């Protein structure tokens, strides 16, 4: 249970494991449960939708869900996205990009990145609610958190030190295999065969994401992992929107 509580603490703003000291190995091992936490987040969004849909129209309800998702994660992943956008837009060499990403101030490109991702998520939430594809929230949560595990397992850390160092390049193969197995199990339960197929485009996106960042900054950072989570959430909902006419949701 410590691993699950640690994963909840890492991925959300809930202080379930604050009083329990977690070593670097505990943090890396907690990635086994990242898809479980993603499922829990998706389930909460699905439950809120079912509770509030009788009294709220899809537009306001989408705004509520977006707000809940931000509060639940403490905006951590959005912050990473903003920092990554600022860093990459700054140009220059590896050290300059990393320096800009480390700056706590959000620049113009970070704001633009946030606006674009929030608009996309709002519109996709609206579509999911309007069409009644509520299981999409489960798939979104599971695959986006698994993508972080895949990236951290496959990538290398771009900095000498940092908060993400216990994760990136430190996940042992059995933990990654276990996390992937859990993800595949959830994907099958949620959408059967199409759910399993959804792992392929996510895998491809993570592969390209890692290649690009290796070229730009020599590896991954915590900000990049947060940005990846946000991008995969949008990707999964987009894929479902495209595939929905050909499958029963």
- Residue 66 covered by a domain: yes
Q: Which residues, at least 6 apart from 248, have a Cβ–Cβ distance to it below 8 Å?
A: none
Q: What is this structure's pTM?
A: 0.94
Query: Contact at 8 Å (CB) between 124 and 144?
Result: no
- Residue 246 covered by a domain: no
- Residue 120 covered by a domain: yes
> What pLDDT sits at residue 158?
84
What single string gives the DSSP state of each residue in the chain? -HHHHHHHHHHSS--TTTTS---HHHHHHGGGGHHHHHHHHHHHHHHHHHHHTTTS-HHHHHHHHHHHHHHHHTTHHHHHHHHHHHHHHH-S-HHHHHHHHH-SS--HHHHHHHHHHHHHHHHHHHHHHHHT-THHHHHHHHHHHHHHHHHHHH--BSSSS-TTTTTTTT--HHHHHHHHHHHHHHHHHHHHHHHHHTHHHHHHHHHHHHHHHHHHHSSB-HHHHHHHHHHHHHHHHHHHHHHGGGS--
- The residue range of the domain holding 172 is 2-241
- Residue 248 covered by a domain: no
CA–CA separation, 195 vs 36, rounded Å? 16
Long-range pairs, 111-119, Cβ under 8 A, ≥24: 111/82, 112/85, 113/81, 113/82, 113/84, 113/85, 114/78, 114/81, 114/82, 114/85, 117/78, 117/81, 117/230, 117/231, 117/234, 118/66, 118/78
Q: How many domains does the chain have?
A: 1
- Residue 249 covered by a domain: no
For 51-84, the pLDDT digits (tens) are 999 999 999 999 999 999 999 999 999 999 999 9
- Residue 247 covered by a domain: no
> What pLDDT sits at residue 19?
44
- Residue 108 covered by a domain: yes
For 114-171, the pLDDT digits (tens) are 999 999 999 999 999 999 999 999 999 999 999 999 999 999 898 877 788 889 999 9
């Amino acid at each position: 249970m410590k691993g699950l509580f640690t994963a909840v603490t890492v991925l959300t703003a809930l202080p379930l494991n604050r009083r329990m000291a977690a070593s670097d190995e505990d943090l890396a091992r907690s990635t086994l449960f990242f898809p479980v936490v993603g499922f829990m987040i998706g389930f909460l969004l699905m439950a809120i939708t079912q509770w509030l849909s009788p009294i709220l129209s899809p537009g306001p309800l989408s705004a509520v869900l977006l707000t809940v998702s931000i509060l639940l994660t403490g905006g951590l992943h959005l912050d990473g996205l903003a920092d990554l956008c600022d860093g990459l837009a700054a140009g220059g060499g590896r050290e300059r990009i990393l320096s800009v990403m480390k700056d706590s101030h959000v620049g113009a490109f970070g704001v633009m990145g946030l606006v674009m991702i929030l608009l996309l998520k709002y519109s996709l939430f609206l579509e999911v609610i309007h069409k009644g594809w509520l299981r999409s929230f489960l798939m979104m949560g599971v695959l986006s958190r698994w993508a972080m595990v895949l990236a951290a397992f496959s990538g290398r850390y771009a900095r000498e030190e940092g908060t993400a160092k216990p994760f990136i390049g430190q996940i042992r193969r059995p933990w990654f295999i276990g996390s992937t197995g859990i993800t595949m199990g959830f994907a099958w339960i949620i959408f059967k065969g199409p759910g399993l197929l959804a792992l392929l485009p996510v895998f491809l996106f993570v592969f390209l994401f890692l290649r690009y960042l290796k070229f730009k900054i020599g590896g991954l950072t915590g900000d990049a992992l947060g940005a990846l989570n946000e991008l995969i959430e949008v990707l999964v909902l987009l894929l479902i929107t495209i595939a929905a006419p050909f499958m029963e949701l």
